[in-house]
């Protein structure tokens, strides 16, 4: 655009055509000035945000039936979220909103999946991508490349396709019942391995089986995690300690009616 203006001006006597020059300046600079001076939208705090907790998406095949959600029920839940105006965001989005005033949509919701089962790649990922949704997957590397676990290649692909990868420690031990050295190892090694696989920073932690105490929180901060989620029932809120964010459990017996109530209430 500047090139064309210069070509035009070369054929114009600037002394006798000052009015033309002024009009050109207004024409090309006007939109830019308007954009620069446009008022910004006011920040709207989302005081509570539901962080949904899932485990396996599939038909129950073990003793822990309530940890499963049937695929058809999961599809209904995703579609309900879309139909009712909810937007999936990551924990990084939530953290940036509450601590750095990053705007969020009117109805944000976080989908989290614990443990790293193979169905997270086979079932969950395609369903999310087809709906332009994203989620956070809390993984522990000792499960990788096992018969029921994700492969490292799957984890890398999930991260590359916009999914957030969080730590579920290295081997899913109860962090309140191990030595100080083991605690440090579980937190640091998981973070390091996941970052090497994904090429992205791992900022968030999920306590295995929801077990934590003050020492676990202290070491989590030391390891470089910004926040952590629990199994305590309820919506996460900006008034909560970031290392004690609550979640909304979704399990086998969760009906669509109870699902909608837990989120909307």
Burial class from Cβ neighbours inside 10 Å (0-12, 13-18, 19+) for residue 9 reads: middle
Residue 24 pLDDT more than 60? no
Give residue 3's pLDDT band: very low, low, confident or very high (50, 70, 90). Answer: very low
pLDDT of residue 265: 86
Write out pLDDT tens, residues 45-88. Answer: 999 999 999 999 999 987 899 999 999 999 999 999 999 999 99
pLDDT of residue 8: 37
Burial class from Cβ neighbours inside 10 Å (0-12, 13-18, 19+) for residue 167 reads: buried
Are 261 and 84 in contact by the 8 Å Cβ rule? The answer is: no
Residue 13 pLDDT more than 90? no
Within 8 A by CB and 6+ apart from 231, the residues are 53, 207, 209, 210, 247, 249
Residue 32 pLDDT more than 90? no
Do the bridges between strand 68-69 and strand 87-88 make them parallel or antiparallel, or are there none, so unpaired?
unpaired
Write out pLDDT tens, residues 150-191. Answer: 999 999 999 999 999 999 999 999 999 999 999 999 999 999
What tokens does 120 get? 């997270």
Residue 7 pLDDT more than 60? no
Write out pLDDT tens, residues 110-145. Answer: 999 999 999 999 999 999 999 999 999 999 999 999
In the chain, where does the domain assigned CATH 3.20.20.370 lie?
A: 48-264
Are 53 and 69 in contact by the 8 Å Cβ rule? The answer is: no
Do the bridges between strand 236-237 and strand 48-49 make them parallel or antiparallel, or are there none, so unpaired?
antiparallel
Cα(139)–Cα(117) distance, rounded to whole angstroms?
Answer: 9
What tokens does 56 get? 């396996």
| Average pLDDT along the chain | 89
Tally Cβ neighbours within 10 Å of residue 213. Answer: 10
Could you tell me how many residues make up the chain?
265
Nearest by Cα to 208 from 250, 241, 170: 170
Burial class from Cβ neighbours inside 10 Å (0-12, 13-18, 19+) for residue 189 reads: middle
Q: Which CATH class is domain 48-264?
A: alpha beta
Within 8 A by CB and 6+ apart from 253, the residues are 66
Beta partners for residue 227, in sequence order:
204
Q: Is 235 helix (H, G, I), strand (E, B) or coil?
A: coil
pLDDT of residue 40: 64
């Amino acid at each position: 655009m500047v090139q064309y203006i210069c070509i035009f001006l070369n054929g114009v006597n600037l002394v006798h055509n000052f009015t033309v020059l002024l009009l050109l300046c207004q024409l090309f600079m006007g939109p830019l000035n308007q954009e620069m001076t446009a008022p910004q939208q006011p920040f709207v705090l989302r005081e509570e945000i539901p962080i949904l907790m899932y485990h396996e998406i599939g038909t129950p095949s073990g003793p822990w039936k309530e940890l499963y959600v049937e695929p058809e029920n999961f599809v209904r839940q995703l579609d309900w979220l879309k139909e009712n105006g909810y937007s999936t965001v990551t924990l990084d989005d939530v953290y940036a909103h509450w601590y750095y005033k990053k705007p969020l949509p009117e109805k944000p919701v976080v989908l989290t999946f614990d443990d790293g089962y193979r169905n997270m790649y086979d079932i969950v990922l395609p369903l999310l991508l087809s709906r332009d949704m994203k989620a956070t997957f809390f993984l522990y590397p000792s499960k990788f490349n096992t018969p029921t676990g994700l492969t490292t290649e799957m984890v890398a692909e999930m991260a590359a396709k916009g999914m957030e990868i969080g730590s579920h420690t290295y081997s899913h031990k109860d962090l309140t019942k191990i030595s100080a050295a083991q605690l440090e190892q579980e937190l640091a090694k998981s973070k390091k391995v996941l970052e090497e696989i994904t090429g992205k920073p791992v900022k968030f932690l999920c306590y295995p089986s929801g077990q934590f105490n003050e020492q676990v929180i202290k070491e989590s901060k030391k390891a470089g995690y910004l926040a952590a989620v629990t199994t305590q029932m309820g919506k996460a809120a900006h008034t909560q300690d970031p290392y004690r964010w609550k979640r909304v459990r979704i399990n086998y017996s969760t009906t669509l009616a109870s699902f909608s109530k837990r989120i909307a209430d």
